[in-house]
Amino acid sequence: MNAGTRIVTLQGPVGPIDCAVDQPPQPRAIALIAHPHPLFGGTRDNKVVQTIARALLQKGAICWRPKFRGVGGSAGQFDEGRGESDDLLAVLDQALAEGASLGLAAPVPLYLAGFSFGSFVQSLVAGRVDPRRVGLEPMVLVGTAASRFDVVRVPDDTLVVHGETDDVVPLASVFDWARPQGLPVVVIPGTGHFFHGQLNRLKSLILTHLGGRDA
């Protein structure tokens, strides 16, 4: 993401996980950021993923951006979100170990964020984290793949952002998923799935939603 980005390889359930790490000057939290569908070109270097990371870095979070199975140096094959959520939990273990060495005490504030397929994976991860180890901060789900995967219920304070003209994940499918939860959806008018020309607005929306929640 920038000159200070550190690339690490850690051991996951099926082998190495290739991960990028960005650390703020005074870490106060941890963030896991999940990228789009790996079979359709999704990587951690996606501009939306990087925009989310920049916002969370500004909130004082150490941002971990792993590559999903089969992407780059990450071992394994696409696993419909099951194995990918296992891998994110392995990344979280490493992140917490490093965080402890920096003085982050349990429960460590944790941001879970994802774009497209990554949002689905994070919905699974949210239900599996140990509240004795982490305190879940508001989730950030962008372009949530509700038409393609069974995205599970998420906490009421989750930020859901979608483009009005998204032709990959129709906006109506996100409303159908969010409606039973009473979950607000922030819609950016005239914007497609990849938020072209709207990345600064996306970052601002994230920071505004997290305002007053300094970790």
pLDDT at 64: 98
- pLDDT band at residue 136 using 50, 70 and 90 as cut-offs: very high
Task: Indicate the DSSP class of residue 3.
Answer: T
- Tally the domains of the chain: 1
Element (H, E) at 97: helix 82-101
User: What is the CA 146 to chain-centroid distance, rounded?
Assistant: 15
Question: pTM, whole model, 2 decimals?
Answer: 0.96
Q: Which domain holds residue 83?
A: 6-209
Flag whether 214 is in a domain. Answer: no
The DSSP line for 125-188 is: HHTTS-TTTEEEPPPEEES--TTTS-PPP--TT-EEEEETT-SSS-HHHHHHHHGGGT---EEE
pLDDT (tens digit per residue) in 157-195:
999 999 999 999 999 999 999 999 999 999 999 999 999
- C-alpha dihedral (138, 139, 140, 141), degrees to nearest 10: -140
CATH number at residue 177: 3.40.50.1820
Neighbours of 102 (CB within 10 A): 11
Flag whether 121 is in a domain. Answer: yes
- Name which of 127, 156, 136, 161 is nearest 146 in CA terms: 161
Query: Phi/psi class of residue 15: alpha, beta or left (left: φ > 0; alpha: ψ in -120 to 50)?
Result: left
Flag whether 149 is in a domain. Answer: yes
Flag whether 215 is in a domain. Answer: no
Flag whether 204 is in a domain. Answer: yes
Flag whether 18 is in a domain. Answer: yes
pLDDT at 1: 66
Question: Is the predicted pLDDT of residue 213 greater than 50, yes or no?
Answer: no
The CA distance from 29 to 51, in Å, is: 18
Which residues have CB under 8 Å from 103's CB, separation 6+? Answer: none
pLDDT (tens digit per residue) in 52-80:
999 999 999 999 999 999 999 999 999 99
Flag whether 63 is in a domain. Answer: yes
pLDDT at 145: 97
